[in-house]
Amino acid sequence: MGGDLAPAEIVQGGVDFAHESGRRVLFVGRPEEVEPALAGADAPRSLVEIVPASEVIGFHDTIRAIRRKRDSSLHVGIRLVRDGTAAGFVSAGHTGAVMALGKVLLGVIEGVDRPALPAPLPRRGAGYTILLDAGANVDCRAEHLLQFAVMGSDYARHLFDVDRPRVALLSIGEEESKGNDLLYETTALLRRTKLHFIGNCEGNSLFCDVADVVVCDGFVGNVALKVAEGLAEAIYGMIKDQVTTGSLLNLLGGLAMRPAFRNLKRKMDYAETGGVPLLGLKGVIVVAHGRSNAKAIKSALRVAAHAEERDLIGEIGREIGGLRAADGPHR
């Protein structure tokens, strides 16, 4: 029920995933709205099921409304994961509500203070740079950034197949002397771990093959992410304007470059990655973009399936447990 294009595109994406993977998909929401969408989506009835939920948490709902709507699609869906009925939950709805309900209904992994939201950023060459936290935690302590580094490394290793992820702290300079007290304290903690910590990196390195995991607090991370999204859209728009409103030579050059532009747009398209798991929860929850179409939802479901199949939750628990055993709990 969440997202700008719900329920039709959400349902179509789930149906496409069921066809592709052969896995069952549970659609949580108001049956009177979900059933017509299923009827128009060529759904394999043996692989889909509607789980009724009478309420919907909207993007403008307050915390009080979130607590009151206990039969919302978010409540019901996350409880399916908690109770073992579902392997994972995907939502394109209210991210703050998903985070809050995930913490309340699933709980966090022992040793994790705060779940984190990663953001895979496409970079030159192959692969992605994973930025976290991308907005879930505005104010952080050094131990929180340490936990983000561990969880981001597990995410890169198990969902992006990076053997030994390089971890960096986002700072105003590459030198260790550049930064603030939070970064100095985090650096000291990271150097005592087995993570492949390479030091600081600057914002202009996010789209280069410098680090695989870049750690920061959620305030900085969200600003960096939104700047990156806006810049990408602006550059694409400016190139399009030059091609369509410029000279005949520009037009011919644009036509010749169309395959390259198409490949670049595909790499930068959020629908390709679909969604990201909330790292640190005791269950798989994947947050998709609010504008998600069917392709993005199918990709997000694929992320959830991979996270469950590769035991991402268990791996994070073991890594965090190792930190606690070696150095005691960080609080």
Where are the chain's structural domains? Answer: 1-112+273-310, 116-245
pLDDT confidence of residue 273 = 77
Comparing 10-14, 98-102, 314-318, 319-323, the range with the smallest average pLDDT is 319-323
More confident residue, 110 or 230: 110
- Residue type present at position 310: R
pLDDT confidence of residue 65 = 81
More confident residue, 209 or 325: 209
pLDDT tens digits for 6-42? 999 999 999 999 999 999 999 999 999 999 999 988 8
Question: Which residues 6+ apart lie within 8 Å of 322 measured at CB?
Answer: none
pLDDT at 261 over 80: no
More confident residue, 326 or 171: 171
pLDDT tens digits for 66-98? 889 999 999 999 999 999 999 999 999 998 899
Cα of 33 vs its chain's centroid, Å = 27
pLDDT confidence of residue 260 = 61
Crossing angle (nearest 10°) for helices 31-39 and 8-21: 60
255-269 average pLDDT score = 65
Question: Which residues 6+ apart lie within 8 Å of 47 measured at CB?
Answer: 18, 19, 22, 23, 24, 25
pLDDT at 59 over 90: no
Compute the CA torsion angle 318, 324, 327, 331 (nearest 10 deg): 140
- Beta strands of the chain (E only): which ranges? 25-29, 48-52, 89-91, 119-122, 128-132, 166-170, 196-201, 213-215, 275-277, 285-288
- Are 274 and 14 contacting, i.e. CB atoms less than 8 angstroms apart? no
SS3 109: coil
More confident residue, 328 or 12: 12
- CA–CA separation, 248 vs 324, rounded Å? 64
More confident residue, 234 or 223: 223
Neighbour-count burial of 263, counting CB atoms closer than 10 A to its CB (0-12 exposed, 13-18 middle, 19+ buried): exposed
- Are 80 and 105 contacting, i.e. CB atoms less than 8 angstroms apart? no
- Choices 3.40.718.10, 1.10.4190.10, 3.30.300.160, 3.20.20.300: CATH for 116-245: 3.40.718.10
pLDDT confidence of residue 329 = 46
The dihedrals phi and psi of 25, each to the nearest 5 degrees, come to -125, 130
Q: Of 139, 151, 79, nearest to 111 (Cα)?
A: 151
pLDDT confidence of residue 123 = 87
pLDDT confidence of residue 262 = 65
| Fold matches, 1-112+273-310 and 116-245 | yes
pLDDT at 265 over 70: no
Task: Look over the chain and give the mean of its residue pLDDT values, rounded to a whole number.
Answer: 89
At residue 267 the predicted structure's pLDDT band, cuts being 50, 70 and 90, is low
Q: CATH second-level architecture of 1-112+273-310? A: 3-Layer(aba) Sandwich (3.40)
At residue 44 the predicted structure's pLDDT band, cuts being 50, 70 and 90, is confident
At residue 330 the predicted structure's pLDDT band, cuts being 50, 70 and 90, is very low
SS3 217: coil
pLDDT tens digits for 144-184? 999 999 999 999 999 999 999 999 999 999 888 888 999 99
Task: Using the Cα atoms of residue 264, residue 233, residue 59 and residue 63 in order, give the sign of their dihedral.
Answer: positive
pLDDT tens digits for 94-127? 988 999 999 999 999 999 999 999 999 988 888 8
